[in-house]
Structure 1
Amino acid sequence: MIWLTWRQHRLMVALVGAVLIGFATWFLLLGNGMRDWLGRAELVDCIGIGIDCGEWTSSLSMLSNLQGTLLPVLPALIGAFLGAPMLTREIEQRTFRYAWTQGISREHWLFSKVFLLGGAVAVLSTVFSAAYVWYFQPAVPEWSWFEAFGMVLPSFPATCVFGFALGVLAGTVTKHLLVGMALSLVGFLAVFLPVVAWLRPHYMSPQRLTADEYYRGPRGWVTESVYRSPEGEEFDIFGALRASGVPHAPNSVGSAEMDQLSAAGYTRILLVQPGSRFWTFQFVDAGVFLVLGAACIALTCWLLRRKAI
């Protein structure tokens, strides 16, 4: 089964490997070049902000754009193009019946494929993350690891494994390749976005610090900002402006309005996840996605045993 699985899926594994290893190589070349040509302070600013960094500006701008578009959905693409076709092609072409007549159980057939291809996804995504960790490391003292949370291991490899497992489940449910790929993409975003936006910031209760306290100490992850009135009530920025009577434009706030809020006795309070919690958050996040991935494979196994194919 291992050799057969490899023969069936080697081209797609090679494509996934080319993408992830290609990005890893780019991170290593970019990081090495910047380390050779920039001083430490310049290196920190360039990696953290990526603005006006000489010959590196264009590469850093491209990387910044990719971090906001392609890189977060790489796990979804892995699920759609590697996970969804894994069983769906055999179901559509009816070749799975031949495998089951050779003394191979449905579970053996499934797990042989899942462990080989899922293991390849885990290894390749770990190489990707390790290269990004090395690239980003000089910026950590000023920017904290939280700025690179989604690209760092073990969270990123675990997310890729979940994307792959969800693709396998989507293909098994639909039994049609294109429909399975579409369901895999939509399903991944339906799970991933709420985890990132709502669950991840609350793995632990945040610390409450004034802005002055935060900027005097080590950097962390600011998950929310509120304004406390002299009476102890808390508002968002626009609520504070209305309560204090400070005039402002409908959808914008400038430094002048901020200064007037401060003069009116309002204090900016930051809800912060300290940098010391980063690795705890990483392992919790990885655990969430690995549990979800295991649930997808367990449900796929149940469907293969119970559902007529």
Structure 2
Amino acid sequence: MSWLTWRQYRAQAWCALAALAVVAVLYGVTGPRLAGLYDTSGLPGCARTGEGCERAQSAFAAAVGADGLLTGLFYLGLVLLLVLPAGAGMFAGVPLAARDLESGAFRLTWTQGVPRTRWLLVRLALVGSAVAALAGLLSLAVSWWAAPLDRAGALPGAGDAGLPGRFGPLVFAAHGAVPVGWALFGFAAGVAAGLLLRRQVAAMAVVLGVLAAAQVLVPLLVRPHLAAPVRTEAPLVLGTGAGAEQGTIRIEGDRLYVSTPVSLPGAWVLSVAALDPAGRAFTGPVPAACHPEAGPIGACRQAIDALGLTQRVAYQPARRYWAFQWAEAGALVLLSGAVAAGTAARLRRGVAP
């Protein structure tokens, strides 16, 4: 069965190996270049002392942004690992059962000495292991290359410099252990769709839709709740001093939205809300001093300060990054196993037309 599986998947295997080799060369050659920009920007000193971070972050962001190759490789890594689950499902998972069902070859392969359930499980193990290995190696290469960006993102001033944070939805799904879980889930979904629909093109379309929806919904609805967020509250004071311009005031009709900057290096900020003295969400009314015709902005800031507002911030701390990585990857692996088990049970009951 191993020989037969190789014969059926050799085209996909050679393409995957070629892509892996190209990625290894590109990221292996340019990785020291990105690390050198990090070292010369002043960020190592900022990490030790906590001083001069804003200047160092700006220098590092400017140097990376001015290098078109490094910028392109950063986005290439994101694209490769974000489309890998759909690719694994469409080109590795769907053909595993749908190819034989659509062509009628199952009448031969399923009547040999190997039971149909064993036929499926062995192929699931062989191809699934290859998919996991490919995802793991690609993620390892991209994560190693992007390590200076991740370290910079965990230091003060990264957000102001425009550097990506590790908890960003796209970066999180393309670094660390999570890509392996997503690739296995895409593969399992492809096998299930191929077995149920028995048509490769239709199954590929379904897998593409399922993976696209899942990769949008999980960061929005699931990932923020893998652990209870930390909440902090502090008086919301805009003031009129040198840092007053950092506060945000937004007026929409009769609603007022106000906030002050949040400094939580490397954290995932989920929400920032202004509360009134009673602890309720504050959205107005708008003080008279804040109307456009009322006068200078300083008077508006003083009027808002007089309201006695509190700012509540809900966030996931930077130290939870790897806990979130392993939690999401583990959940996806378990879900993939459940889908595979359901597929095997469906095959055991019989699916022949």
**TM-score, normalisation: structure 1:** 0.82
1:204 maps to what in 2?
A: 227
Tell me which residue corresponds to 1:223.
Answer: 270
1:287 corresponding residue in structure 2: 330
* Aligned-residue offset at 1:150: 1.1
Partner residue in 2 for 1:27: 27
Return the offset for 1:295: 1.7
Name 1:304's counterpart in structure 2: 347
Q: CA deviation at 1:133?
A: 2.1
* Max Rg structure: 2
Q: CA deviation at 1:233?
A: 1.8
2:139 to 129, 132, 148: 129
Cα displacement (A) at 1:29: 2.8
Tell me the distance in 2 between the aligned counterparts of 1:112 and 1:233. Answer: 58
Aligned 8 A contact 1:21 1:128 in 2: no
Partner SS state of residue 228, structure 2: coil
Does 1:115 find its partner at 2:136?
no
The answer for the alignment partner of 1:149 in structure 2 is 172
Greater CA drift, 145-154 or 66-75:
66-75
Q: Structure 2: where are the runs of 5+ without partners?
A: 45-53, 155-165, 235-259
Relative distance call for 1:54 and 1:299 in structure 2 (3 A) is: closer
1:222-301 correspondence runs (5 A):
222-235=269-282, 240=283, 242-245=284-287, 246=290, 263=305, 264-301=307-344
Query: Shift in Å at residue 28 of structure 1?
Result: 3.0
Deviation (angstroms), 1:50: 7.8
Amino acid aligned to 2:96: M
1: distance between equivalents of 2:339 and 2:132?
16
Q: Deviations over 1:73-120 (max 9, x none)?
A: 321122112211121111111222222222011111111211111101
In 2, Cα distance between equivalents of 1:63 and 1:34: 11
- Separation in 1, partners of 2:132, 2:147: 22
CA–CA distance in structure 1, aligned partners of residues 75 and 172 of structure 2: 16
Alignment partners' CA distance in 2, 1:48 and 1:78: 38
Aligned 8 A contact 1:43 1:138 in 2? no
- Larger RCO of the pair (alpha carbons < 8 Å, separation 6+): 1
Amino acid at match of 2:349: R
Does the 8 A contact of 1:229 with 1:265 survive in 2? yes
CA RMSD across the alignment: 3.3
Structure 1 residue 100 and structure 2 residue 121: aligned?
no
* 1:58 and 2:101 aligned: no
Q: In structure 2, what residue type is equivalent to 1:108?
A: R
Are 2:204 and 1:181 equivalent residues in the alignment? yes
Distance in structure 2 (CA, Å) of the matches to 1:171 and 1:136: 36
Deviations 1:217-264 (A, max 9, x none): 5431112222223442225xxxx3x4444559xxxxxx9999678635
Identical aligned residues as a percent: 31
Cα gap change, 1:228 to 1:83, in 2 (>3 Å): same
Mapped partners of 1:34, 1:292: distance in 2 = 36
Check the 8 A contact 1:50/1:61 in 2, yes or no.
no
